[in-house]
A and B are shown apart, each in its own frame.
Chain A
Amino acid sequence: MSWLRRVATVALVSLLALAALWLALRLAGLDATRALIALWDGSFGSGYALTSSTLVRATPLILTGLAVAIAFRAGVWNIGAEGQLLAGAATAAAVGLFATPAFGALTVVVALAVGALAGALWAWIAAYLRNRFGVLEVISTIMLNFVALYAVGYLVRGPLQEPTHIYPQSEPLPALAQLPRLVEGSRLHWGFVVAVVAAPVVWWVLRYTAAGFRVRAVGQNPSAARVAGKIDVQRTTMGVFLVSGALAGLAGAIELTGVTFALYENVSPGYGYTAIAVALLAGLDPLGVLATGLLFGALEAGALSMQREAAVPAVVVNVVEALLVLLILAVARWRGGSAMLARLAGSGSGASGDDSTRAGGEGAIGRGKAPGAPPASGTHAEAAG
């Protein structure tokens, strides 16, 4: 599918989802038109809404969306961006609180680097469990999300708690540990630039480098990549996990140093989970993630104003996001769609590569047979396909 066609598809699906929202609100007896106007006002309606709400919200969604996209491209089902983001946020907070005197003006940079490293480490656990013991990463990353959440809960009541020990949160970071504003007088910070630059970088690496080729090959058919391409599948998988975790960790570090300035339990309203929808809507294309990240950032920013102005609960936006994903699956199914969307929807075109990709991710359970051995699950797919 050409660029144009994909954009048209996403636009069509978004309109459908918004129409469904309007209808549902009407049926619920709410002022649906006013709600949609509030949604617009709160997202793109003014310069302030755009810079201080939409773009600020989009930043972590773009970075975690990239994390999910690169993982899924390699058949690595990393559902753990949320935990990796929290790991990044917590370590960035620790750096800002304790290491600012040591690093001075460089503190922000160090905090972001350490945050990315922490995200990668958190993802490494799942990668190690998958490669060494054949533990399905879908399960392990979700478990690690909960561990990260409780770890943050412990930190903000223990080592990182503010000095009065009343509130479960850390002290605000010192100014040297905060990301500078991008636009004076708004909440937009330099982290947005990082996200905008990261997308084409990931796109370029995936498309034009040998490492990117290995990632795509492993994602499309692990057995073929190993046999015909002499690619070390485990090593590639590990690399993808680390990069994916680093991107999510960076998102957390940026959120902390650029937006919240303090660590607390609800520092992420589920960015890591929304990221999955962001990545899917983009067809797992890093440049597409830039666009869908903005779209979802706008939706979430607008939802808050919808709640303020029209008394429509902000959680409704989750329904819209879910509808977007389901509709895109349905559209891809019925129209053939791009190879990637078709692969996601599991429709006929390119069916042979299709099934083994999934097996690459899913076969992780079956790999228990010989720890350390390369995945044998491709054979199941060939039999089943």
Chain B
Amino acid sequence: MDILVSNSTILIGMAVAFGLFMAWGIGANDVANAMGTSVGSKALTFKQAVIIAAIFECAGAVLAGGEVTKTIRKGIVDVSSLGSTPELLVYGMLASLLAAGIWLMVATRMGWPVSTTHSIVGAIVGFGAVGIGMEAVQWGKVGTIALSWVTSPLLAGAIGFALFRSIQKLIIDTDDPLGKAKKYVPYYIFLVGFIIAMVTLLKGLKHVGVNLPFEQNMIYAVAIGMIFAFIGTVMIKRLKFDAKADKKFHFTNMEKIFGVLMIFTAIAMAFAHGSNDVANAIGPVAAVVSIVQSAGEITAKSATPIWILILGGAGIIFGLVTYGHKVIATVGSGITELTPSRGFAATLAAATTVVFASGTGLPISTTHTLVGAVLGVGLARGIGALNIGVIQTIFLSWIVTLPAGAILSIFFFFTFKGFFS
């Protein structure tokens, strides 16, 4: 106990520093995958993508990031088992942050496809099982999380397939794709706004202290969806179409309308990513801060302080500004085959899946979910060629990242433990 009180400033300072480091890493690298499809399909310039990412990653973290933060904080390691040694959790969380941050940096430098989510979960499980004891890890919850890593790409794939087929039926395969696109795209925009708003209202806002009855949430979500759709309709009205462009590729003008839709999907994606992945950085920070501030009392009930959520958002923006814009440009320019209609189907499918996972508190990998969504569109015969070797690298990243995060975190855990006592 005394250790926590006498070192409280150092411990919180370390947590904030490591958390910022981690958030910086997410902003620098992870966000590029989330925004890449929007830039690649040329719906957004990469400058616009950076601005959207900066605003909505932060909004996602603050408004809807609470559940996942809670899971990372106290869902994986059973805090009640610690009893008289709460400082172990503090060391462990610090160790996890440092381990995941360093591992991400090394892996990125080596060009390995790793996931921030997997690194941090591996790290927390690692210190929990070895540093505290096997029984301290809530294996049931860990199993659910691991399962969600498999189901989330599958779900995103199914949604992507369905969305794309619906576009084909309603818009592309008709006499007048352009007219039908003008007619139906606002409905899709409504859908984007509605889903995001609904999940946020139902699951996210209580962490910010707002709690509304279901019907009222429904009304607000519909209203937000309608506002989105209205803005979208105005933007579509202002588009200029060139009949000559359709000579070379018959769907050029129709794709322009999907370009508008893609802006909203990109917003949804940034929001979804913020709501899920920022927790990887701030969950451990929140855990450390709450234990240290309550001088060792592990309060299972306390909500995540808003300033920590904002800290995560700020770290991400910092990562984006210092480094991420380059990565977004690189990723975006690598995806040249994606038309806005496919980009929309894939991105919305992924964003929906991620936002639902955030609502249920499951930390999943945005990148893997997006890969699943793109494959879903590919299964509907919508993309010229996909390299399915990527699936292999995803499996590989699971196998490598989990133990790597765990081992590093165990190492740092014992280092901190020795250092402070």
A and B part of one assembly: no
Query: Interface on A for B, CB 8 Å cutoff?
Result: none
